[in-house]
């Protein structure tokens, strides 16, 4: 249910940012689920990497692996999220398991310990 090509753009378009903790939380209002809802436009979209880079912040998602990591019969993405202030001390890097349960559904983050 995750496309073979253009995975980076798929993440930009379909990742539900409400399903994981990040610096994006305080910027959201009710109903805001996607990067576009937050007015975020990627500065780089590759097949395995997406970046939102500005003068003061970097939010980067890198696909590390594609596999059924939780043995539920559905292919998942293991990604690393880098969420960092360029002018302050906030810097977080974490790995997430992203999945999609139905063809028309969003890409969501699940609890995951690599």
- Tens of pLDDT, residue by residue over 1-37, are 899 999 999 999 999 999 999 999 888 888 899 999 9
Q: What is the pLDDT of residues 60-112, one digit of tens each?
A: 999 999 999 999 999 999 999 999 999 999 999 999 999 999 999 999 999 77
| Coil, helix or strand at residue 45 | strand
Per DSSP, which regions of 32-103 are E strands?
A: 44-45, 49-53, 57-67, 76-85, 91-99
Distance (Å, whole) CA 53 – CA 84 = 10
Instruction: Return the pLDDT at 4.
Output: 93
Instruction: Return the pLDDT at 26.
Output: 84
Instruction: Return the pLDDT at 8.
Output: 97
Burial class (CB in 10 A: 0-12, 13-18, 19+), 11: buried
């Amino acid at each position: 249910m995750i496309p073979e090509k253009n995975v980076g753009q798929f993440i930009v378009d379909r990742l539900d940012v409400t399903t994981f903790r990040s610096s994006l939380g305080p910027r959201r209002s009710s109903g805001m689920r996607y990067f576009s809802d937050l007015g975020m436009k990627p500065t780089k979209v590759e097949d395995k990497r997406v970046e939102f880079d500005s003068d003061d912040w970097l939010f980067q998602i890198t696909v590390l692996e594609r596999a059924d990591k939780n043995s539920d019969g559905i292919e998942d993405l293991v990604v690393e999220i880098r969420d960092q202030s360029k002018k302050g001390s906030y810097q977080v890097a974490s790995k997430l398991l992203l999945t999609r349960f139905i063809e028309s559904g969003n890409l969501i983050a699940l609890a995951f310990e690599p």
